[in-house]
Amino acid sequence: MSSGKVKNGRAVGEDLPDVDLDEDENGELEVAPSGPEVAFTAIDWTQHVGDTDGKVGAEVIQALVKRLPNAPGVYRMMNVTGDVLYVGKARSLKKRVTQYAQGRFHTNRIGRMVRETATMEFVVTRTEIEALLLEANLIKRLRPRFNVLLRDDKSFPYILLTGDHPSPGIYKHRGARSRKGDYFGPFASAQAVGRTINSLQRAFLLRSCTDSFYENRTRPCLLFQIKRCAGPCTGEISHGDYATLVAEAKDFLSGRSQKVKTEISAAMQVAAENLDFEHAAIYRDRLAALAHVQSHQGINPQSVEEADVFAIHQEGGQVCIQVFFFRTGQNWGNRAYFPKADPAMEPAEVLGSFLAQFYDDKPTPRAVLLSHAVDEQELLADALSTRAGRRVSISVPQRGEKKDLTDHALQNAREALGRRLAETSTQARLLTGFAETFGLTKPPVRIEVYDNSHIMGTNAVGAMVVAGPEGFVKNQYRKFNIRSTEITPGDDFGMMREVMERRFSRLIKEYGDVTPDQGGEEPDDLVSNGFPAWPDVILIDGGQGQMSAVRKILADLGVQDRVVAIGIAKGQDREAGRERFFVEGKPSFTLPVRDPVLYFIQRLRDEAHRFAIGSHRARRKKEMVKSPLDEIAGIGPGRKRALLLHFGTAKAVSRAAVEDLIAVDGISEQIARLVYNHFHEN
């Protein structure tokens, strides 16, 4: 049995992501995915096609069609370097791939995709539902450039009420549900969870401390004093009464909020009638906290118990999909997504592909409400039902409260995309002005800014930040711990030389010396979401000396014509606004103090400076707490802890004899001699 692997951005051979393969009695490949609900029967058809003799495009697809079955499955189209261009599913592989082989395409995107195809791989599934689920999984893992891509795929946070402690706590949770307890969510953001937990603490006085903190308390903490916790750790409340508070919190989070409010209101009335105004005030504050939770949730529908609401809006060649989460009759927030999709694609096609990827690794609600009908809506509903193990309905409401919810989501999608287009337009104008200022042939798509940070040459770090048409691209930031021992401490030229050599040597190794694209087509050197790997411009924090060193490195690597290098020297007295710029082939110059391009460059430089200083401080902090024991091979955290507990300090360990070291639990004679020899090399 072999497990799935990904190489060069594609699944290779007979391996698939998150699946295990084995041969059945007929010699076919049995594919068992990570979940128990779906199984595939897969055949790697590329083994039977033979050599395509270097053909590319419709001609090679025609050769592949001859051996395809009339069965459902998933296909992958790849270019000459083996990168996956497109992943699709089909009710009939033979019919679908035949359409590509005919050479008649509805859009330029499909035409270019076919022209770049050098080979294809196929997986046959038993049903079309299995094909849809596998397609979504492969798109998310391989991120083909011609598919609709979900850009932001972070997991959603939940509220956890623990069930493995006599006094359950309330926490924010993200990730696998490995701890026993009740999970409520998803919430749209960590901020939404934080606000809700703060209000629930005021309403139900539940603890939020760790179990170890709880066990070591001898008197109530500050949260008890400010009426955010009932104080079960020191017996301020009995376990029975605390369990009642926990049950009320579960009822509220499960949608029975009116029942909880009625009970608290009745208790407040009883306390007031008994002239117990102190307890009546506590109940009053709890009611106010519950009202605060629901007021922050905005819309709380009466007829929708559990649903996700999706609305899509297209404008200016971009797409926004707004998602609202409703659980237990409460609105638990919303989030805007901006998937990468071809502008020629219809909203139904984009939304359908988005939904399949969105629910690939997320729990599915009982109902999904859409602003637009999607392609193969019934098939998608069946696929989600299969994955969830229960009925999931997908509908486009036409009237009533559900229609109001989709309309509200659509309005939010329009507004979010409008804000994004305004920001993109501003950024586009700045990049155009940048190109005019420095004599570039077109606005840059990727700008890299470099800076160094150190103190007297110690803990030296090089930093690279990246900006593009949509602002800073933080997942492309890189830091470089300066490794060379030949660099004189404080030698900024030497540090920048090492950073440049490492950065561009790796670029050449991973992507080759890619030339700029021509004709307005996408370049071939793409990282995630269609963003180029090669920079158009690099900005260096330094003057003529720094630029001479950088240009020499680029020339030695043979990429001096691929990248425009610009130096930024601080002005007189290091005053902002007097920066001098150095570009090859031009005399140095300054920009007018109020020039928007100057502000733009200053912002880029300041971000690089911030990132470099932060990286340097993190490295310096790590060095400050570093122990001599960390340098000994074979001494892990457990043995290190045992040695320090026994001797007190690393210095005492260094002075210990072998016999003393052996006396420590977990330290054998071999390890003891290893430690002793490390500190007594002579």
CATH of the domain at 665: 1.10.150.20
482 or 416, higher pLDDT: 416
Q: Is the dihedral of CA 491, 584, 467, 610 positive or negative?
A: positive
Residues 92-146: tens digit of each pLDDT: 888 888 888 877 766 778 888 888 888 888 888 888 888 888 888 888 888 888 8
Within-domain flag for 245:
yes
Question: Can you tell me the distance from the alpha carbon of 355 to that of 374, in angstroms, rounded to the nearest whole number?
Answer: 9
Domain that holds residue 637: 628-679
Percent of the chain having pLDDT more than 70?
A: 81
Whether residues 15 and 114 fall in one domain: yes
Task: List all residues 6 or more positions away from 49 whose beta carbon is below 8 Å from its beta carbon.
Answer: 63, 64, 67
Of 576, 595, 619, which closes a domain? Answer: 619
The pTM for the full model equals 0.64
The answer to whether residues 45 and 121 touch, using CB atoms and an 8 Å cutoff, is yes
CATH of the domain at 24: 3.40.1440.10
Q: b vs e for 288-319, b when ≥16 Cβ sit within 10 Å of the residue's Cβ?
A: ebbebbeeebebebeebeebbbbbbbbeeebb
Within-domain flag for 574:
yes
Whether residues 253 and 287 fall in one domain: yes
Q: What is the mean pLDDT of residues 615-630?
A: 68
Within-domain flag for 426:
no
CATH of the domain at 373: 3.30.420.340
Q: Is the dihedral of CA 143, 146, 147, 153 positive or negative?
A: positive
Please name the residue ranges forming H helices in 171-276. Answer: 190-204, 211-215, 222-225, 239-253, 257-273
DSSP string over 41-66: EE--THHHH---TT--THHHHHHHHT
Burial class for 459, CB neighbours closer than 10 Å (0-12, 13-18, 19+): buried
Distance of CA 425 to the CA centre of its chain: 25
Whether residues 196 and 214 fall in one domain: yes
Q: What is the DSSP letter of 528?
A: G
Within-domain flag for 46:
yes
Number of structural domains (the chain) is 5
Question: Does the pLDDT at position 8 exceed 90?
Answer: no
Question: Can you tell me the distance from the alpha carbon of 56 to that of 52, in angstroms, rounded to the nearest whole number?
Answer: 8
378 or 292, higher pLDDT: 378
Of 142, 172, 198, which closes a domain? Answer: 142
β partners of residue 479: 463
The answer to whether residues 515 and 521 touch, using CB atoms and an 8 Å cutoff, is no
Within-domain flag for 461:
yes
Of 544, 589, 578, 555, nearest to 438 by C-alpha is 589
Whether residues 477 and 611 fall in one domain: yes
What is the structure's pLDDT at 87? 92
What is the structure's pLDDT at 40? 41
Whether residues 54 and 116 fall in one domain: yes
Residues 203-255: tens digit of each pLDDT: 788 898 888 888 888 888 888 888 888 889 988 888 888 988 888 888 877 76
The answer to whether residues 526 and 517 touch, using CB atoms and an 8 Å cutoff, is no
Within-domain flag for 327:
yes
Residues 342-360: tens digit of each pLDDT: 888 888 889 988 888 888 8
Whether residues 469 and 564 fall in one domain: yes
Average pLDDT of the chain? 78
Residues 47-81: tens digit of each pLDDT: 334 445 567 778 888 888 877 888 888 999 888 88
Question: Can you tell me the distance from the alpha carbon of 233 to that of 235, in angstroms, rounded to the nearest whole number?
Answer: 6
Burial class for 108, CB neighbours closer than 10 Å (0-12, 13-18, 19+): exposed
Of 456, 546, 552, nearest to 504 by C-alpha is 552
Whether residues 227 and 78 fall in one domain: no
Residues 435-444: tens digit of each pLDDT: 999 988 899 9
Whether residues 123 and 189 fall in one domain: no
Q: What is the mean pLDDT of residues 454-471?
A: 79
Q: What is the DSSP letter of 492?
A: H
Place 488 in a pLDDT band, splitting at 50, 70 and 90: low
Whether residues 469 and 591 fall in one domain: yes
Of 142, 167, 199, which closes a domain? Answer: 142
Question: Can you tell me the distance from the alpha carbon of 592 to that of 577, in angstroms, rounded to the nearest whole number?
Answer: 8
Whether residues 591 and 491 fall in one domain: yes
Within-domain flag for 152:
no
Whether residues 173 and 118 fall in one domain: no
Lowest mean pLDDT among 267-276, 510-519, 667-676: 510-519
Question: Can you tell me the distance from the alpha carbon of 103 to that of 62, in angstroms, rounded to the nearest whole number?
Answer: 10
Within-domain flag for 540:
yes
Question: Does the pLDDT at position 525 exceed 90?
Answer: no
Whether residues 324 and 261 fall in one domain: no
